[in-house]
Structures are given as structure tokens and as C-alpha cells.
């Protein structure tokens, strides 16, 4: 499974309108990929609409990127609405099933954490191996929606986790550390200090709730 995260920076108070526009644009006949989630940032960089879409392969993802970049109204969030747009391409890994809408997977938030980490040069494959072997027990503590390796830009990967609330997040993270199952032993040594976390909430149109 391949994924795209599109992040739109919006004027204050326009998130609901932008979410509706993205949902409609994602259903257009010419659009490729599947809309999986629409989130607004709640903790982290604010005034952002975060769009997660899934693709069968890298070719369809990058074909859709070309279409979006050529559009005067990319995903319904052109310059008349959004003030900035960032597109990131990823390949899923970590032996997880493909991310699915909540109605199909049963996985629900409504609090989602999007965590991104830089990877040191030459450490991508060791990181893949660690996450393949150690993600399942952490996933059992609280569901991991996706683990994704970036296909462009600096080496990095992104984890997306679902929680019932912030208290559930704190408990799950503490339990995983107490049980010695997370982070994977040796994992931090593969990472740079370039780390970021966003707490995001689903919009009314989001397939992940």
C-alpha cells in the first residue's frame, strides 16, 4: 500500500469548508486513490487540514500528484482557500494491513497522533527490520493506523496512532514502555533528532473517525 499525506495550511476558521471541498474533489471521476482520512490539527502546527489518501502502487500515486499539481484548484483547496500545500509520498511497511476507513477496520479515534522521525543515512533497512519484528505487540496496546516510509525528501518515516482520548494515549505509551515492548531496542540509535508530532481530530467528512 502506498499513501499520500497532503497538508493544507488554511486561514483561520475555514477548516470545515476546506474539508468539504477536499471530500468532494476526492470523489471526482478523474481523481485517483482512496480518501482515508481528513484531520484538522489540534496540537502542533495549527490551522492545518491533513489529508490521508491510499494508492495501490507508487505509479498511481505519482500520476495523481502530477494531476493535482497541474490543477488550478488542487483537491478543492486552491489559492482562494489554502495559503500553503505540502504533498508527501509514502510506502507502507511494518507488516500492518492497509489502512482502511473506520467503518471497515473498526479502528476509531477520535484522537489521532501523527508522529514523524528522521532516519540516519544507511539506516532505512535496519529500521524496516526492527518495525517488522516489533510493531505487532505495540499495535496490540493501541492501534497503529499506518507506518509509512517517505519516498521523497529526506529519509524519514511516519507513524499514525488512534486513541480514544489524550489520557488513553498517555496510558498506552506508558504501558508499552513498562512492558519493554516499545520503542524497539536499538531503534532510537537509527533516528535523527528531527522528530515531530501532531495531534489531529477527524472532520465530519473523514472516513476515519
The tens digit of pLDDT for each residue in 69-119 reads: 999 999 999 999 999 999 999 999 977 889 999 999 999 999 999 999 999
Q: Tell me the three state secondary structure of residue 6.
A: strand
At 119, which CATH number?
A: 3.30.70.100
Same domain, 136 and 86: no
Mean pLDDT of all residues in 122-145: 93
Domain-terminating residue out of 60, 92, 124: 92
Do 76 and 10 have their domain in common? Answer: yes
Question: Looking at the domain assignment, is residue 101 inside a domain?
Answer: no
The pLDDT of residue 95 is 79
Q: What is the mean pLDDT of the chain?
A: 96
Task: State whether 12 and 86 are in the same domain.
Answer: yes
* Residue 94, C-alpha cell as written in the block: 511494518
Whether residues 87 and 117 share a domain: the answer is no
Domain that holds residue 59: 1-92
Q: How many domains does the chain have?
A: 2
The pLDDT value given to residue 94: 78
Cis peptide upstream of residue 56 (ω within 30 degrees of 0)? no
Is the residue at 207 inside a domain?
A: no
For residue 183, tell me if it sits in a domain.
yes
- d(C-alpha 55, C-alpha 58), whole Å: 7
**Strand ranges, E, within 44-143:** 48-55, 84-92, 111-119
Q: What is the pLDDT of residue 125?
A: 96
Grid coordinates standing for 25? 474533489
Amino acid at each position: 500500500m502506498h499513501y499520500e499525506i497532503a497538508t493544507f495550511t488554511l486561514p483561520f476558521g475555514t477548516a470545515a469548508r476546506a474539508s468539504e471541498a477536499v471530500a468532494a474533489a476526492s470523489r471526482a471521476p478523474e481523481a485517483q486513490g482512496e480518501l482515508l482520512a481528513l484531520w484538522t490539527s489540534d496540537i502542533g502546527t495549527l490551522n492545518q487540514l491533513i489529508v490521508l489518501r491510499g494508492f495501490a502502487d507508487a505509479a498511481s500515486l505519482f500520476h495523481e500528484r502530477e494531476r493535482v499539481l497541474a490543477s488550478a484548484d488542487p483537491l478543492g483547496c486552491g489559492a482562494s482557500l489554502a495559503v500553503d500545500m505540502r504533498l508527501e509520498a509514502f510506502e507502507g511497511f511494518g507488516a500492518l494491513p492497509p489502512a482502511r476507513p473506520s467503518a471497515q477496520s473498526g479502528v476509531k479515534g477520535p484522537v489521532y497522533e501523527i508522529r514523524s522521525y528522521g532516519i540516519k543515512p544507511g539506516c532505512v533497512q535496519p529500521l524496516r527490520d526492527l518495525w517488522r519484528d516489533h510493531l505487532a505487540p505495540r499495535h496490540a496496546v493501541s492501534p497503529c493506523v499506518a507506518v509509512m516510509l517517505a519516498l521523497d525528501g529526506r529519509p524519514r518515516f511516519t507513524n499514525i496512532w488512534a486513541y480514544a482520548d489524550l489520557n488513553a494515549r498517555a496510558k498506552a505509551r506508558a504501558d508499552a514502555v513498562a512492558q519493554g515492548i516499545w520503542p524497539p531496542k536499538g531503534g532510537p540509535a537509527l533516528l535523527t533528532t528531527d522528530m515531530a508530532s501532531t495531534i489531529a481530530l477527524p472532520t465530519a467528512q473523514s472516513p476515519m473517525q
